[in-house]
Amino acid sequence: MVSALTVLGLTPFPEGRYATYTELAHRIRGRFADPEATLQELYGRIAFNMMCGNTDDHGRNHAAFVGHELELTPAYDICPQARSGETAEQAMAFDEHGNRDARLELLIDAAPLYLLDRNQGRAIIDSLETTIREQWSDVCDAAELTTVQRERFWNRQFLNQHAFET
């Protein structure tokens, strides 16, 4: 297994801060098994990070299994971050303009980078949003969250309105 930083040829310090989803997407095209499916998965992970408030999505929190070709590992270290305000930024830029602003509309604009058209990007986002809404109570029950904890997460970390601003 190698981290995305290794795939990108970067060291954790000080280069790690320069890791981007954009460059990772370019590497996926050339070095990963099934690039189209892998890029779609990566796009969905970026969208989910935005929707759940995980801004700790740096290059060491993504990895690939090493074989004849690289394959993304299952997602890990997804941790919704507390917000002091409404806005949020991802740790890694996700488009060719260097955007980190955790707004889904900007990610939809970047869909072609992930070999998706805007409609496909929107469909992935809509599916994730629906899943979060439909599974929210069950997940909170499984995590044994109190009512106060559920309310603290909902519309703050999870499905914060900033993510949906155009």
Which DSSP category does 3 fall into?
A: E
Identity of the amino acid at 152: R
For residue range 135-164, list pLDDT tens digits in order: 999 999 999 999 999 999 999 999 999 999
Whether omega for the bond prior to residue 112 falls within 30 degrees of 0, making it cis, is no
- Is residue 82 included in any domain, yes or no? no
The total number of structural domains that make up the chain: 1
pTM listed for this prediction = 0.97
- Is residue 40 included in any domain, yes or no? yes
Q: Write down the pLDDT at residue 86.
A: 83
Which DSSP category does 37 fall into?
A: H
- Is residue 118 included in any domain, yes or no? yes
- Is residue 29 included in any domain, yes or no? yes
Helix (H) or strand (E) holding 30: helix 21-31
- Is residue 65 included in any domain, yes or no? yes
At 63, give phi and psi (nearest 5°): -150, 170
Calpha distance 116→43 (Å, rounded): 9
- Is residue 104 included in any domain, yes or no? yes
For residue range 58-82, list pLDDT tens digits in order: 999 999 999 999 999 999 999 999 8
- Is residue 122 included in any domain, yes or no? yes
Q: Which domain holds residue 103?
A: 2-75+96-164
For residue range 92-123, list pLDDT tens digits in order: 999 999 999 999 999 999 999 999 999 999 99
Q: Write down the pLDDT at residue 103.
A: 98
- Is residue 81 included in any domain, yes or no? no
Average pLDDT over residues 8-34: 96
Judge whether residue 20 has pLDDT over 80: yes
